Amino acid sequence: MLIEIDVLVRDSKPLQLPTHLLCGRTPACPVHYDRNARRRKRSPAEIVGVELPPAPIKLNLLPESWRRRRAQLTKQAEWRKRLVWAGSVYAAILLLLLAYLGFMRFAIGRLDRRIASDAPKTEFIRATDANWKALAPAVDSRYYPVEILLHLFESLPSADVRITVYNQSARQISVEGEANTADLAYKFFENVKKNSELQIFQFNMAAPRILPNDHAQFRLEGRSR
């Protein structure tokens, strides 16, 4: 191994080397002295090398296929994130729907139990209501046959209209009659519908039938509202 020693000599004095270099105590390391070092023009200050960072260069040396593949991978990663978010939202909505369905089933079950517990009372109320409706014609004076006939006769437009048949059941009545003209039969029908005491019934009348003597035969039917 050869070690080169450059020495700068500022004056004309001879160069004095260390004794251990002159006496040959380092046989493994030969020493070479450059006598032309004082002829070299160097600064007396110590020269220190400073390594500067490389200048930024905006060059993309990747192949075009690599750049496209990198863009595809980036886009795939973005879509994967979006799919994960969409799946999370869908799962949350599904969980909320299942919770709502569970709550509704619980509420329906509770209502069914309450209805089942109240079924005897409800059945008693229904039976009582049906009985009262059946007894209504007997206890309500508005359903008395005499009262109804009185209001029917009050609705006759003239003596040319006559009631020939009257039938009454618990919730229904029927009236048959004869009028000199069909107009009188229709007028009687209108008077019956306008009678305030007969508003408990809903009346209907078919077209009068013309008899050979040009009289009109009619039939009224009234059902309880």
Please report whether residue 201 resides in a domain.
yes
3-state class (DSSP) for residue 205: strand
Asked whether the predicted pLDDT for residue 6 surpasses 60, the reply is no
Domain containing residue 30: 3-39
Global pTM value: 0.44
Structural domains of the chain, count = 3
Residues 98 and 120 in one domain: yes
Structure tokens at 80: 């994967």
Distances (CA, A) of 39 to 10, 14, 26, 44, 189: 10, 14, 28, 13, 148
% of the chain surpassing 70 pLDDT: 72
| Residue bearing the bigger pLDDT, 61 or 152 | 152
Q: Are 212 and 189 in contact (CB under 8 A)?
A: no
Predicted pLDDT of residue 7: 40
Which of 95, 112, 138 is a domain's end point? 138
Mean pLDDT of all residues in 203-214: 92
Alpha-carbon Rg for the chain in angstroms? 62
Q: Are 189 and 177 in contact (CB under 8 A)?
A: no
Please report whether residue 51 resides in a domain.
no
Structure tokens at 55: 């200048």
pLDDT digits 0-9 by tens, 142-191: 888 899 999 999 999 999 999 999 999 877 899 999 999 999 999 999 99
pLDDT digits 0-9 by tens, 87-139: 899 999 999 999 999 999 999 999 988 888 888 888 899 898 888 877 777 77
Residues 170 and 198 in one domain: yes
